[in-house]
Amino acid sequence: MSVISSARPAPRRWLQLWPLALFLLLALAGGLWLLHVWPQLMLKSVVWQREVNQQMSALLQAVAADPGRAGGSLLAFSFIYGVLHALGPGHGKVVIATWLATHPSKLKSGIRLTLAASLLQGLVAIALVVVVLTLLALPARQLHLSSFWLEKGSYALVGLLGVMLCWRALKKLRDVLRRPTFKSFTPHHVHHANCGCGHQHMPAPDSLAAEGDWRAWLAIVLSMGMRPCSGAIMVLLFSKVVGVFGWGVASALAMAAGTSITISLLALLVHSFRRLAVRLSANRTPALWRQVGWTTLAFAGGAILVITAVVMWVSAVPAERGLRPF
């Protein structure tokens, strides 16, 4: 009696990657749409910024006349402005969303990054006004010019961060693809990192994220917080003119608090989607495929940051009467 073994058709594992393909398709469509409407968004943001500055100027004048009655309204308006301001287009949201989506990280670490970056953005605006207008006694034009170059510097940091992430991803991808050196199964097979048996013998991404990456974190915080908020600059400048600079400082910090709330919610959303993607792919794809896939995604995240930095650098223009798009 002969036993005929029929070869079972290999499962089409690439069909299990349809969520990733759908995500990439939607991301491409969203990027093309954003590229199409970007000039209109910038023009509308300038108009909105002008209206907000007028409202803020009126509140500061009211604070100068009666701080007890108008002070609370100024702080509340500044906080709401910070929340809404963070909803607009900006490189900070691209940086934190890209990092959390393409790299394993704990939610607490992501929220700490957003809080630190928002606080730094407010402190940079305050320090810039104090140094330029008070210590150096330079005109307001120099204040806006200094803010412009800080903005360009933040875009340069975004580009450097993207290059660093791409380089790390390429090195890791090279190691992953070079790893399989398995020779044969033995009854006493000892698993190790380079045995090539297809099993994953490395710590989980979440456990690796616990150790932290202070270089990347520092680059993220500096790239997000180095660019001072245009609204905070205008509030500080006008508050100094009307003689209520202390209220201007409080208003700038309230803006930073509102900005941190919105960006923290964005970080929570992105982190939740990443955890969902990791859970769905845990038992459906081989370990090697998962490593290659996540490493490729990390490289794509770095490339997105480089492209964002180039676009922002080219489109950055000096402020006109203190007005800048977001």
How much is the pLDDT for 254? 92
190 CB contacts (<8 Å, ≥6 apart)?
none
Q: Which domain holds residue 79?
A: 48-176+196-315
Burial of 320 (0-12, 13-18, 19+ CB in 10 A): exposed
3-state secondary structure the chain: CCCCCCCCCCCCHHHHHHHHHHHHHHHHHHHHHHHHHHHHHHHHHHHHHHHHHHHHHHHHHHHHHCHHHHHHHHHHHHHHHHHHHCCCCCHHHHHHHHHHHHCCCCHHHHHHHHHHHHHHHHHHHHHHHHHHHHHCCCCHHHHHHHHHHHHHHHHHHHHHHHHHHHHHHHHHHHHHHHCCCCCCCCCCCCCCCCCCCCCCCCCCHHHHHHHCCHHHHHHHHHHHHCCCCHHHHHHHHHHHHHCCHHHHHHHHHHHHHHHHHHHHHHHHHHHHHHHHHHHHHCCCCCHHHHHHHHHHHHHHHHHHHHHHHHHHHHHCCCCECCECCC
Domain assignment present for residue 222? The answer is yes
Pairwise CA distance, residues 62 & 68, whole Å: 10
Which residues on neighbouring strands pair with residue 320, listed in sequence order? Answer: 323
In a domain, 184, yes or no: no
Asked if residue 116 is part of any domain, the answer here is yes
Flag whether 129 is in a domain. Answer: yes
Give the C-alpha separation, 305 to 223, whole Å. 11
Task: Give the CA count within 13 Å in the CB-facing half-sphere of 103.
Answer: 27
Local confidence pLDDT in tens for the 326 residues of the chain? 444 444 444 445 555 556 556 666 776 777 778 777 777 777 777 777 778 778 888 888 888 888 888 888 889 988 988 888 877 767 778 888 888 877 777 778 888 888 898 899 889 989 988 888 888 877 878 887 888 888 888 888 888 888 888 888 888 877 766 655 555 555 555 555 555 555 544 444 444 443 457 788 888 888 888 888 878 888 888 888 888 888 989 999 999 998 889 888 888 888 887 777 777 666 665 666 667 777 777 788 888 888 888 887 887 666 554 445 44
Would 63 be classed as within a structural domain?
yes
65: which 2 tokens? 């006349």
Question: What residues contact 279, with CB distance under 8 A and at least 6 apart?
Answer: none
How many domains are there within the chain?
Answer: 1
pLDDT at 284: 61
Please tell me the pTM assigned to this model: 0.71
> Length of the chain in residues, anyone?
326
- Among the listed residues 208, 207, 300, 287, the one whose alpha carbon sits nearest the alpha carbon of residue 20: 300
The answer to whether residue 321 sits within a structural domain is: no
